[in-house]
Structure 1
Amino acid sequence: MNLSTWPRLLVVDVEGNGANPPDLVEIAVVPIDGGLVRPEQIRATLVRPPQPITRFATGVHHLTNQDVANAPTWDGIAASVQADLDGVWIAAHNASVEYSVLTRHLPTWQPAGVIDTLRLARAALSDAPGYGLDALLLHTGLDVSTVQGKRHRAAYDAHVTALLLMTLADHYATWDDLIQVAVPPKMPGAPAAPAPDHEEQTLW
């Protein structure tokens, strides 16, 4: 695939406070521009949620209420985040999570499309022992030694998801082939269903 033909795309990861529905405590975006992952352009920020981080959530991402005590609230960064994400393609692993959280936090957000690396991996790597991010990184042999940060933090997870997306893209000849598989049903960017043949729809 000629990756230079791709539209600008932002790989997104969010971490929550453990509430249901979750409030954000961290968000990160990693650009893929001109077919290249751009780690030097990573944007990540902590967010002070309206409700405390639960002990369970801290056990996953290791962020505590003290860590976010001086972070901006979502209201303080929402306009900036939406300006970054409006009108561009986003990608995430199990993208329905990021998409649902972001649409709840940004009700007027309009992405160009949503790519799910989980869907891509299930289609392209039928021999994988599992499709969680850790299992896929191991299965594909991706070198993540230079990725900054730690697993389950937003910047790290977004960066390794971007690298995984590049690897999965090798299984598809064109961008259109990739999005045919990668975009979850009813999400922005899903290819339109072929128009029914007129003759098949008539009785005479």
Structure 2
Amino acid sequence: MKRMWAVDVEGNGATPPEIIELGIVEMDGLRLTGRVKHWQFRPELEITPIVSRIHGITNEDVADAPPFDDVVDDILLWLEEAPIVGHNVRVELESLSKVLPGWKPAAAYDTLKVARRLLPYQEKFGLEPLGEALGLKDAASKAVGGGAAHSAPYDAAMSAILLERLLTPLSVTERDSVLMDADIINVRQGSLL
């Protein structure tokens, strides 16, 4: 596997949710490259107070941001059809597929599945508790120039760093097996890394 993007989205709390923040960090194999892209969007429906308390983004924060549709071409240029990585990546895959017509990544690797397989005795599998337990918080913040849990760029970086931490000790054959099981698109190819 060459290049892939760790991805995270934050929503406005509507049903269905609108994306108000997208963060992506580039990976080359299992390593972060330092390339980070971050967008905020003005939703059609206001951000609900309960989700503002979670991710910290308010309606005022995105009042001057473009609507998602105005940035689609830029997002597609960055993502292309490269594989994506995320914690419970189904959320990102479903959210982005709804608003990016025709976009389909080559694979979608779920770090939640990877963590459950490789850390069976861990008590909590949320991204924040895993980052805390494995000592990854500072590295994620440094990778995106600051931030904390529930910020899209930070959570994308945390997913990437978590994947690297969990897969690096494994052989190529073991990595391939873990990634095939974690790919929610079920791409079956030869050596992935």
Q: TM-score, normalized by length of structure 1?
A: 0.84
Equivalent residue for 1:99?
Answer: 93
From 68, 71, 77, the equivalent of 2:71 is 77
Asked if 1 retains the 8 angstrom alpha-carbon contact of 2:30 and 2:160, the reply is no
Pairwise CA RMSD: 1.6
Q: Which moved more, 1:170-179 or 1:83-92?
A: 170-179
Q: Secondary structure at the match of 1:87?
A: coil
Is the contact made by 2:4 and 2:85 (CA closer than 8 Å) also made in structure 1? Answer: yes
Deviation at 1:173, TM superposition (A): 1.9
Q: Deviations over 1:172-199 (max 9, x none)?
A: 3225223222112xx2x5327xxxxxxx
Deviation at 1:143, TM superposition (A): 5.0
- Match among 170, 173, 190 for residue 172 of structure 1: 170
Contact 2:30 2:163 in 1 (8 A): no
Amino acid at match of 1:157: D
Equivalences for residues 1-204 of structure 1 within 5 A: 6-39=1-34, 41-144=35-138, 146-147=141-142, 148-170=146-168, 172-174=170-172, 175-184=175-184, 187=185, 189-191=186-188
Unaligned runs of 5+ in 2: none
Bigger Rg over Cα: 1
Give me the whole-angstrom Cα distance separating, in 2, the residues matched to 1:152 and 1:27: 11
TM-score after normalising by structure 2: 0.88
Q: Is 2:4–2:29's contact at 8 Å kept on the other side of the alignment?
A: no
Partner-residue secondary structure (3-state), 2:46: coil
Aligned length: 183
Amino acid in structure 2 at the alignment position of 1:128: Q
Deviations along 1:83-116, one digit per CA (max 9) or x if unpaired, are 2222100000001100010011112102111000
Asked if 2 retains the 8 angstrom alpha-carbon contact of 1:13 and 1:154, the reply is: yes
Q: 1:171 offset after TM fit, Å? A: 5.0
* Unpaired segments ≥5 residues, structure 1: 1-5, 193-204
Q: Percent identity?
A: 34
Indicate conservation of the 8 Å contact 1:10/1:31, yes or no. yes
